[in-house]
């Protein structure tokens, strides 16, 4: 069965949107296999965001991800990787379509990093890599 790593980022936790976001995942028919509130460590984030190292938004992104707890989730179901990215909407919340998590609940705050509420793995390989970072042994 396909699985993906979802993160409700610190903006989503701070704004009290974890329930609404998980509700949408469950309403779509996906199963929650693990849910844990975590305060990310610098090491964890360096691994998770290794592909972005050196980009202008990298340091603000890590700082933002360290600014409060993140809800880490493993969700399962046929097609869940693409399906959750579709639920999440475009990375830029201004461009994200209404009906998506980012389109409905995120906006541009004029900061150096997109505070776009959620992360979802983008391929089976990244899902397994990211699950190992947030849920070692799962
Ligand atoms: P995610 O991986 O978080 O689901 P994504 O795959 O749509 O989002 P990535 O390209 O992996 O986006 O970027 C990771 C995160 O870095 C984004 O979710 C956003 O918070 C931030 N980010 C990406 N691109 C930019 C940018 N051009 N300016 C500011 N922040 C950015």
Number of the ligand 1 atom closest to the C-alpha atom of 64: 20
Is residue 14 a known part of a binding site? no
Is residue 70 a known part of a binding site? no
Is residue 102 a known part of a binding site? yes
CA distances from 7 to 54, 57, 129, 137, 138 (A): 22, 18, 14, 18, 16
- Tens digit of pLDDT per residue, the chain (138 long)? 999 999 999 999 999 999 999 999 999 999 999 999 999 999 999 999 999 999 999 999 999 999 999 999 999 999 999 999 999 999 999 999 999 999 999 999 999 999 999 999 999 999 999 999 999 999
Whole-structure pTM value: 0.96
- 3-134 carries CATH number 3.30.70.141: yes
Distance 27 CA to ligand 1 centre (A): 25
Answer positive or negative: Cα dihedral of 46, 102, 14, 115.
positive
Q: From the candidates 39, 48, 52, 119, which is the catalytic residue?
A: 119
Active site (annotated) includes residue 52: no
DSSP for 71-114 reads: EEEEEESTTHHHHHHHHH--SSTTTSPTTSHHHHH----SSSS-
Domains of the chain by residue range: 3-134
For atom 30 of ligand 1, which residue has the closest CA?
113
């Amino acid at each position: 069965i396909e699985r993906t790593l979802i993160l409700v980022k610190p903006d989503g936790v701070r704004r009290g949107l974890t329930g609404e976001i998980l509700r949408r995942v469950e309403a779509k028919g996906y199963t929650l296999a693990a849910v844990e509130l975590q305060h990310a460590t610098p090491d964890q984030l360096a691994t998770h965001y290794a592909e972005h190292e050196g980009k202008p938004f990298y340091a603000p992104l890590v700082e933002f991800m360290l600014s409060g707890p993140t809800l880490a989730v493993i969700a399962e179901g046929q097609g869940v990787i693409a399906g959750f990215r579709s639920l999440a909407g475009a990375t830029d919340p201004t461009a994200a379509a209404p009906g998506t998590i980012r389109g409905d609940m995120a906006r541009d705050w004029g900061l150096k990093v997109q505070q776009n509420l959620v992360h979802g793995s983008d391929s089976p390989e990244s899902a397994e890599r990211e699950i190992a970072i947030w849920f070692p042994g799962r």
